[in-house]
Structure 1
Amino acid sequence: MTKKLSARVSTLTPSTTLAITAKAKEMKESGIDVIGLGAGEPDYNTPENILTAAYNSMKEGKTKYTPSGGLPTLKDAVINKLKRDQDLTYSRKEVMIGIGAKHILYTLFQAILDPGDEVIVPSPYWVSYPEQIKLAGGVPVIVEATAESHFKVTAEQIRNAVTPKTKAVIINSPGNPTGMIYNREELSKIADVCQEADLWIVSDEIYEKLIYGEKRHVSIAQLSKDAKKRTFIINGVSKSHSMTGWRIGYIAGDEEVVGAMTNLASHSTSNPTTTSQYAALEAYNGPQEAVEEMRKDFESRLERIYPQLSAIPGFHVIKPQGAFYLLPEVSEAVKNTGYDNVDDFAEALLTEAKVAVIPGSGFGSPDTIRLSYATSIDLIEEAIKRIRKFVEDNWKE
């Protein structure tokens, strides 16, 4: 057999975050004292009430198939959550439960894209957006946001990127890897452009509950009837309730598209894991104190480590407003420590300083590194000390 792989998977780039995290874990298991700041998951366990609900569901025999689009009761919980938090009204036919927000996004692009369709992707971006678009036959059109704009694209940049082939725009707020948040005015201008060009809006809101200071989450779907009509809200329990491994996400949006996604799921995944759905049901319907406790802790960590990271020579850091990432611009540090690029610099941090960070090249931001502070404050502060010592010891200016 001369050709083993299909063209669509041959061009895939592996997930940078998962690759670095796996390497750091391998080093740690071999006895090396590595501090990992790569993984994008809270270091909290899933709250006890959710664990109990999952256990009880299994004991009660709730271990069989469910509808492909998810338990009706879980759809109702999502509908109630969207009404409670964003004052948005959806029906069951406009909601689908899936195997994590990542697979929901994958299924959405499969449902709305034909070969050659373009999707505008603001950069820095989450690593899987371009790859999922390409897997659906689409073309990711990267629109660069800079540190000067606080890593947010403008409506005018989106307008300039629109072509007759443009099908959708991705908005990720709070953002990964930047932690930045689009405010109501910025979103309103973007919504106007999407209305003018008749585009879908893919609104990834997975970090919605992790916002700091006086900032508040605004979904672009809240801004007008037209914005709601063309927006797909993507969210889930992974970050908000520390349930990354449970793999439950959801989409809320256009009934026809959500229906097509549900049909696709019926031929690919059958249904999201039943036990995980009952856990998510408790996550949305049960007490929310643990969510706020975790948010406050992340905010406290940010307040402590932001000035420490900013003090490292050659590191230029914009303070994030949400999520649990810092994205310092490190080109000056890279140059003055004798490395050719950020990828080599990040590799040296792992092998020499024993700190795992994610090079920004995987996020379309090659002059940056991403650090996750979703780990204990003692480990984060020790990691920053190691990074600073590495930079200062190798500084050649």
Structure 2
Amino acid sequence: MQIKITTITPLHIGSGTELQGNFEYLHFPKEGKLAVVDQEKVLAILGEENLSQWIACIDNDEPLLPLLEKRHPGLKAADVAARIIESKSGFTRPLREQIRLSVGNKPILPGSSLKGALRTGLFSKLIIDDSGLAKDRRNLGNDSRGGFRWSDQPLQKTFFGEDPNHDIFRLLQVGDAIFENAVTEALKIESINKKFNRFEIKNEITQYVETIPAGATAQARVIFNELLNKRAQKTFNRNAPMLRLEELFPIINNETLRLLDDEIDYWDDTAGNPDALGDGLEEMERISDIGSAFAPNECLIRIGWGSGFRSMTGDWHGAMRDDDYDQLIKSLRPKHPIDLVYPKSMRMVSDGTPLGFVKLTLLNP
């Protein structure tokens, strides 16, 4: 089956690489663009006889752009670029790179990332529906010499299968989504952080990130292996039929909306919509309205870097006993009091836009 993927807010799946300003990318403020440097183009402009000047710029942390403009009046981003990134603001700090195809250099949403988000959504739904399992400490990890080791593996085995060979997600094959026409955008990502009784932007952890912009579209192939499921019905867990997309999409949509509405309630009622949040609350409400109006063949899902602890885990931990939950948080954050909200920070675009919301549409149900 083909699914259409539409980004509702900017999406970032990292390549693991940070591009260094003035060396691996250059900012062209008049064009509102970053040029990821093509070294051959730069060398052609400078000339091999001036290679030492380029090296000196790097060694002395001096700006390269004036040197290039001196050699090439009217220089444009395309003149030195291997590829172009849109950018509304100038900066020279490291830029987290979006993952791309090795051939063709197009930005992608890897199938593994999408499959992982689908798994998390189904996992949290199953736990919440059978919350007694999360109240049994034996399902939350095991005792070790260094103390209790928290792990969701017992619950994963219960819902999905005893081992990788019997895991129901073997039945779901998810291809990469290639954003053929998307021009990526560099965004300033801030962290709103709770400090004592107020919220503020924690400037020291502000980052710059290459993103697939809102409104970009791609397609991916997603297959539920009916033949394998039929041949090995005794092998796979009883929950396998829930992986058929017509069954899975409403589940994922409901789970994403549950998490989003909980986030809205927190920032509106508990946090009091602090100034540091900017337009974040209005953006979350807008996205919730979009997802609430989806047809059965559509779903809202949150994916990727900056999506937050709750989306990464499914936030099913409220089904645990209170003392178990407190001990889990203490193990994750030993230097803070247990009653401090967890997590106490959230990443967002500098205007308050949350990251990673995506619409999936089943094209041929």
TM range (shorter): under 0.3
TM-score (normalised: structure 2) = 0.22
Structure ranking higher in strand proportion: 2
Structure ranking higher in helix proportion: 1
Report the structure number with the largest CA radius of gyration.
2
